[in-house]
Structure 1
Amino acid sequence: MVIGYLQDSRPLFVTEERRAEVMSELTKHLIVAILKFLEDQRQNGGLSEDATESLEVAGQCLESAYGVDLLESSTLAKYPLPDDLLGIFQAGLDAKKRTKRGPPASVADKEAADKLKVEGNNFMKQEKITEAVECYSRAIELDNNNAVYYCNRAAAYNKLNNFHQAVSDCDTAIDIDPKYSKAFNRRGLAQMALHQYKEAKSSFAQALDLEPQNEGYKASLEQAEHKLQEVLQSGDMGAGLNLGGLDFTSMLSNPALMNMATNMMSIPHIQQMMANVMSNTGGAGAEGGSAIGSLLQAGQQLAQQMQETNPELVEQLRRQMQADGSGPDPKPDGSEGNS
């Protein structure tokens, strides 16, 4: 069986026994890494006494099954670990993400993509947002391993009130460059517009960790914390419910929307839908999940009916609420030293 090649490209043949021996040693190397990880978790993982004892038992079982002993000095000498298991695992995940995005772009494609980015930035300055999105998207087609292109497109999506897509682009940018503070901040702005204050707080905190002196990030984090505190103090469980970017609490205080909802409640199939929800919410225990599911389904159908009945009002509400907490989005990368 061929399992490799020599330097002069001649195939290297080995027996099945030798292959099994090599695989056995590799397996033991992995087991040693797992045992070291379990030991580190026992010592520094902050786990409960029961959890720590469970890890100890798990380690003993692995040692017995694979014939290794972590306490023997020869074990770590024979199976050295260049990094802790979590580091190795993270490196593997990063490599897989890079492979999924495809091979690196050619020099020519990178140059063309960068020109498209500059063109997109110019469109952003001219408030031609749709054209900017097209430029950034074409740049990504040429070079999808550049975090700046995704982050810039997220800025454009924010201006178009397409906050979910902005979050997605920021996630991709962060996957490519986990130290890209602007992507964390821009994701937080989109999450604020979606009234996802807990998630926005986390995004702003991560941005600030990367740039501790950035006053803009500090202000954004404080605003997210303030909004989250308001929600917690109000005790309003609907404060975090979003229907296509609309805040449920603000919706209830809008006279035009409430008038439309009242008219909709006179529609027979809407009445039947709400009756079904009310009959489900009377249950308890195991029925609770069914009631919640029915309520969410009703909310989705109601939102769809609202969109079909009066899309202009829904869009107006979305734009009004987008201003609450989103703040100005920073300029796209290009002249700020991040490209």
Structure 2
Amino acid sequence: MSEVKIIAASIVNFLKQQLEGDTLSVDSRESVEVGVQCIETAFELSPEDAAKALDLLQLVRQQHSRAEPPVDSAEAERLKNEGNVLMKAGCYREALENYSRAIELDPRNSVYLCNRAAAHFKLGQHEDAVADCTAALALQPNYVKAHGRLGLALTALERHREARAAYARAAQLEPDNESYRQNLRLTDERLAQRGERPPLDLGGLLQNPALLNMATEMLADPNMQNLISGLMNNATATGNGAGGAGGMSALFEAGQALAQHMQAANPDLVDQLRRQVRPPGPGGNPPSSQ
């Protein structure tokens, strides 16, 4: 019996196992029965072939049990809780050992990794803290506390641009957390003091309610609608698009009108946007003191 026939017979065996159960709907059962007949016909399977078929479901279960060792969740949680008590008592090395043992028992628990990162941080092991936070975020990308702790560890390593990204994500996920916003502001100041411009946070801008409201009001303004319509008509009439001389002139006029409208509607928001996109130095605003 060829290997191909063994595989085909094994698939048929698996499908027949599903037909013996009661999990399939009537329509699904009909489809599976047709599939069985098609496979048997296409591969010319005989009763002797069926007798040599493998139990695919059992093979998968065996492979799964080998790939993932059993998890002792109760003991892991006990070790984590004990580690939390040790952290509060200032016993950071002992807490780290507890978290490490919890991770050994349950390596896919992002909380244990994030807690161990905190212990690493307290011990001055900042690279290890970064590694644990990164591993936690690989398991749970929107884990706010892991983003925040990653920012702290990166700040300690003076990797401020990376730290800013971590703080920005934490603040985005938990906008009411003043600690994340404060760390973000301080990181921007550090970057400015080093002559670096913080990266433009387009995600934050697009989620800014004031900016969204301003955009909605501008699009509803008849004057702005006429301006946009004129720009499109001009580009169509010239046949050059926005890249032609007429299109560039119209774009410039539209930009001026847009800037004037924004300044009149919300000068504070405009000033905030200018500070975010303006490069540091003599021409930019100095970083605010805390």
TM range (shorter): 0.3 to 0.5
What's the TM-score, normalizing by structure 1? 0.41
What's the TM-score, normalizing by structure 2? 0.48
Larger radius of gyration: 2
